[in-house]
Chains A and B, each alone.
Chain A
Amino acid sequence: MTETLSHNKETYQNTSQPAVRVRGLSRRFGNNPPVLHGLDLTIAPGEFVALLGHSGSGKSTLLRTLAGLDPVTEGEVSTPDEISVVFQESRLLPWKTVWENVALAQQSATRAQATRLLDEVGLAHRQDAWPLTLSGGEAQRAALARALIREPAFLMLDEPFAALDALTRLRMQALVATLWQRHHSAVLLVTHDVDEALTLADRAIVLDKGRIRLDMPIPLERPRRHADPVFERLRTQLLEELGVHT
């Protein structure tokens, strides 16, 4: 475990200007064991990082801290000014139409800009709809458009597809891959899905009891094929770190 930590420090020292830098971040609620324990993490500009871990491993707390929703009580966190978050639920305002929801996220946004972003996520035809009339997949597309209209340097995705059916999830993953290549944001994807992490990310991090248990580069060409032997090997390794033995 100490090896992982020192490896992280090296990465941090080698990277000149990281998009996200976390140093010695700890978080504790009451007298319980710490949710985050002296965490170090660096994400380079434009880098796609997947964050895996069991429930209660500290994933959500880390993401909420990076999003500015939870305070930093111990340690240091620096993030870019322009950040966006896509949550597991779309969190669209039901009393605003889809395009109004998208435009709301950027102070000076025009309707044309919102329409352009909705077109990018394949939802331009629903821009006048009320959010309650959208399907789960459509709502998450709208949430992605809302996140991207802010032109974020750092995009956080908090299990964004966990509530979608399997086919929709695959389509949304392809969409995220396309959008990431177009927008070049640094991305932190919190997920339970090992295949999703290996399909999308440059690096997979496994969090366990508030510490980084594994920080693994994914040196695969894109688009990635599940049948690739390297993919298979990394998959087995990730699953073992998560305590699933295949």
Chain B
Amino acid sequence: MSGASFHNAPPLLPRDKASLAAPPAHPRHQKTGTRGPIHRIRWSVLPALGRYASPVILVLLWQAACSTGLISTRLFASPLQILATGWGLAQDGTLQANLGVSLLRAASGLALALATGISLALIAALSRIGENVIDAPIQILRTLPVLALAPLFILWFGIGELPKVLLVALGATFPVYLNLHKGIRAIDPKLLEMAHTIGLSRWQRIRNVILPGALPDLLVGTRLAVSIAWLMLVVAEQINASSGIGHMMMDAQDFLRTDIIFVGLAIYGLLGLISDQGVRILERRALVWRQPSAQGRGQNHD
């Protein structure tokens, strides 16, 4: 339909540079279509195998060292032992229960951090008073190592869930705030001028120009916040907890169960990896407008 309407356009409205420049775009696409796979096989699959070969060999050596008694399995559980223990913990439900508790803490802390960080950044970046009141204290606070606040948090908030969630939230708030604040400040003033000339209200400007414009920075902040959230959680759960992956690991320490400690480490590692990938996928979806190649949505150049 759109094609037809274009052809109906009066000849007074000739095609411009884009229409003329469009045809070369096709050969370019074809090129990536036909030559891409060969390139990929030659240059990305083989090195990828190479990259994974080294860790695999290391794990094999580790197993061999344990099996031959070169390493004491009491201090350094073997990979097979760790797998078996992980399987056992999953079978009796210990792993799921502790994982659930840890996930809930991380998620609540992160949600709190996002809400706080976004609100504070909006206030600080959009009003002069907000900037003066909010930005200076945050810049001072962020130089403190947040983990050092753990003892204080236990005194203030007891030993329940609250101090753990708050510790996660506090650590994760800073990257959200700092990146969003920077992102809002970096928005092209020309776009804000344009928004003014088309009569957008303050709220409409925030919704249509400021937030989407700062979204790339907010997502960078979120990714940092996610990794910090896990870090804070590890510490919070090891200092004082009766459940959670960290608690499971501290318990294992008392019984010299290095295999369980390694299972906990692996879980933390996986959680970090998965959540980071999650934010990356979110980034690709939300910022599709930044990738000119991903134009999708039915256009025709001709």
Enumerate chain A interface residues (CB-CB to B < 8 A). Answer: 67-69, 83-85, 87, 89, 91, 93-97, 104-105, 107, 119, 121-122, 124-138, 141, 146, 150, 164-165, 167-168, 171-172, 174-175, 178
Establish whether residues A69 and B197, one from each chain, have CB atoms under 8 Å apart when the complex forms.
yes
Most buried by A among B12, B16, B295: B16
- Name which of B165-173, B208-216, B242-250 contacts chain A: B208-216
Segment touching A, from B1-9, B103-111, B225-233: B1-9
Check if A69 sits within 8 Å of B193, measured CB to CB: yes
A93 to B209, CA, bound (A): 7
Q: With A68-B196, A125-B3 known to touch, is A95 a contact of B17 (CB < 8 Å)? A: no
Beta-carbon contact of B194 and A87 below 8 Å: yes
Given contacts A67-B197, A124-B5, A125-B300, contact A95 B15 (CB under 8 A): no
Q: Quick check: B212 and A95 within 8 Å, CB to CB?
A: yes
Tell me if B18 and A137 are in contact (CB < 8 A).
Answer: yes
Name the distance in Å between A38's Cβ and chain B's nearest Cβ.
26
Within 8 Å by CB of A105, from B2, B190, B198, lies B198
Residue of B with least CB distance to A122: B13
Within 8 A of A (CB), among B171-203: 190-191, 193-194, 196-200
Q: A69-B197, A124-B5 are in contact. List 16 more A-B contacts (CB 8 A).
A: A85-B194, A89-B190, A91-B191, A91-B193, A96-B289, A97-B297, A119-B6, A122-B15, A126-B299, A129-B297, A132-B289, A135-B21, A138-B17, A138-B18, A167-B17, A168-B16
Of the candidates B6, B194, B196, B198, which one forms a contact with A150 in the assembled complex, judged by CB atoms under 8 Å apart? B198
Contact B190 A91 (CB under 8 A): yes
Contact of A125 among B13, B199, B299 (CB under 8 A): B299
The residue that A133 contacts in the complex, of B193, B197, B209, B292, with Cβ under 8 A, is B292
Question: What are the 3 tightest A-B residue pairs by CB atom distance, in nearest-first order?
Answer: A137-B16, A135-B18, A122-B13
Q: A104 vs B197: C-alpha distance in the bound complex, in angstroms?
A: 12
A100 to B13, CA, bound (A): 22
CA of A133 to CA of B193, assembled, Å: 22
Chain B residue with the shortest CB-CB distance to A121: B13
Question: Chain B residues near A141 (CB, 8 Å)?
Answer: 16
Partner of B289, one of A95, A136, A174: A95
Q: How far is the CA of A85 from the CA of B62 in the complex (A)?
A: 69
Indicate which residue in A107, A125, A131, A168 contacts B5 across the interface (CB closer than 8 Å): A125
Which A residues are CB-close (under 8 A) to B13? 121-122, 171, 174-175, 178
Q: Are A95 and B300 in contact (CB under 8 A)?
A: no
Report whether B289 and A94 are in contact in the complex, using a CB–CB cutoff of 8 Å: yes
- Chain B neighbourhood of A167, CB < 8 A: 17
Asked if B9 and A122 sit within 8 Å, CB to CB, the answer is yes
Complex: A119 Cα to B200 Cα, angstroms: 24
Task: Collect the chain B residues with CB atoms within 8 Å of residue A67's CB.
Answer: 197
Given contacts A95-B289, A178-B12, are A129 and B21 in contact (CB under 8 A)? no
Q: Mind listing 16 A-B residue pairs with CB under 8 Å? A: A69-B193, A95-B215, A96-B289, A119-B5, A124-B2, A125-B2, A128-B297, A129-B299, A134-B18, A135-B18, A164-B17, A165-B17, A167-B17, A171-B15, A174-B12, A175-B13
Q: In this assembly, does B298 line the interface, its C-beta being within 8 Å of a C-beta of chain A?
A: yes
* Residue of B14, B15, B215 with most partner-chain A CB within 10 A: B14
Please name the residue on chain A nearest to B294 by beta carbon: A130
B190 nearest CB across to chain A (Å): 5
Q: Given the complex of chains A and B, what is the CA–CA distance between A26 and B258 in angstroms?
A: 80
A137 to chain B, nearest CB (A): 3
The B1-46 residues at the A interface (CB cut-off 8 A) are: 2-3, 5-6, 9-10, 12-18, 21
Shortest distance in angstroms between B233's beta carbon and chain A's nearest beta carbon? 33
**What's the least CB distance linking B65 to chain A, in Å?**
54
**Most A-side CB within 10 Å, residue of B3, B18, B295, B299:** B18
Any A CB within 8 A of the CB of B290 = yes
Enumerate chain A residues within 8 angstroms of B197, measured Cβ to Cβ.
67-69, 83-85
Chain B residues with CB below 8 A from A175, complex form: 12-13
Rounded to whole Å, the gap between the CB of B24 and the closest CB of chain A is: 12
In whole angstroms, how far apart are the Cα atoms of A85 and B193 in the complex? 10
Which of A93, A97, A128, A150 has the most C-beta atoms of chain B within 10 angstroms of its own C-beta?
Answer: A93
> Closest Cβ of chain A: how far from B212's Cβ, in Å?
4
CB distance from A50 to the nearest CB of B (A): 20
Alpha-carbon distance between A4 and B290 when the two chains are bound, in angstroms = 51
Name, among B17, B193, B209, B212, the residue most crowded by chain A CB atoms within 10 Å (CB to CB). B17
271-302 of chain B: CB within 8 A of chain A: 288-290, 292, 295, 297-300
Nearest opposing residue in chain A for B300, CB measure: A125
In whole Å, how far is A156's beta carbon from the nearest beta carbon of chain B? Answer: 9
Contact (Cβ within 8 A) B295 A133:
yes
Tell me the complex Cα distance, A68–B195, Å.
12
Q: Which residue of B lies closest to A67 (CB)?
A: B197
Residues on A with C-beta less than 8 A from B213 are: 93, 95
